[in-house]
Structure 1
């Protein structure tokens, strides 16, 4: 919950909720579509696979930038800016790693998942006020991203690293974003009914 929302009242809260709903829904759908496409294109680290690997963190970077533009100055905005920069760097790093091995890609993706998951938890904690819901889907998704990122780095150091897990990761993240959008829509409807 930001100070801006508290001080400017319901119209701003409604606008912020509506904007987040659209952003979360779009982000979630894109993640699920990406997972479906990547599931059929990751057997080799060729051009299409590397392109998809670069696109996924870029989706997160663009989403974070859109979110950043709508936020007032404060710690939430700074964390969102950090996540946008981090995801942009991750896109570059995973693109370079794509010319190496599955293990290299998995370790880069895992490091990004750890850091972006931590950032997502921080943003979710800031948005836990009643106007924007309790943010449980975002908090769970961020926490899982952190844990899964650690697992990816362990797997990358093993004997048979595989990129299969990335489709599962993206699908899970997409489902949590859609769930958060649904929660915001339910909250908006509940508030409209209460004020009608």
Structure 2
């Protein structure tokens, strides 16, 4: 892996912190937008604000993956950027079809992007970037939760309220990973975190 002298820690620390904070803010905004809509009919299209937020979340991931790739080049992050961009388009279209379509699309994205995040965590477990435990846990959970969302989409009462929980959890894991990288940088060591 081609890294800078600090192992890409500085740029990744900032990226993870900003990404985590934005994910938590998105969760709050989406939770409010979704609650204000009539979500009792799983076939009803969502409101404009909810759809814009649904498109924005994978776009946040796409932009973050591009920045991540520039800090520590990895084909998996490049793949994830393209996947997240396509997901944003797909969720925008699915928003007009209703909750089932959105939850199924989000679930599929969570499975694939979670697998990609887990792979990136495994590849970055060296001394420069630490053990990547929060990244590995977050990617693994995303994969598992994505399967659950896809199953829930086919159920009797699908709900998008779970997406706020997903984004909050992911945001917290990014913030924790940023904290671990910042602590490693302050110590000035290359011992595993």
Alignment-derived partner of residue 52 in structure 2:
51
Alignment of 1:100-139 (within 5 A): 100-139=97-136
Partners of 2:12 and 2:71 within 8 A in 1: no
Partners of 2:7 and 2:129 within 8 A in 1: no
Q: Which runs of 4+ in 1 moved over 4 A?
A: none
Q: Distance in 2 between matches of 1:38 and 1:50?
A: 9
The Cα offsets for residues 24-62 of structure 1, whole Å up to 9 and x where unpaired, read as 001000000000111100143110000000000000000
Q: Distance in 2 between matches of 1:100 and 1:164?
A: 17
SS in 1 for 2:146: helix
RMSD of aligned Cα (Å): 1.5
Alignment-derived partner of residue 41 in structure 1:
33
Which deviates the most, 41-50 or 16-25? Answer: 41-50
The Cα offsets for residues 63-98 of structure 1, whole Å up to 9 and x where unpaired, read as 0011112334xxxx2111100000000000000000
Alignment-derived partner of residue 32 in structure 1:
24
The Cα offsets for residues 84-119 of structure 1, whole Å up to 9 and x where unpaired, read as 000000000000000011011000000000000000
Aligned: 1:151 with 2:148: yes
SS in 2 for 1:132: coil
TM-score where L is the length of structure 2: 0.91
TM-score where L is the length of structure 1: 0.89
Higher helix proportion: 1
Which structure 2 segments of 5+ residues have no match? 38-45
Alignment-derived partner of residue 11 in structure 2:
19
Q: How many residues align?
A: 182
Which structure 1 segments of 5+ residues have no match? 6-11
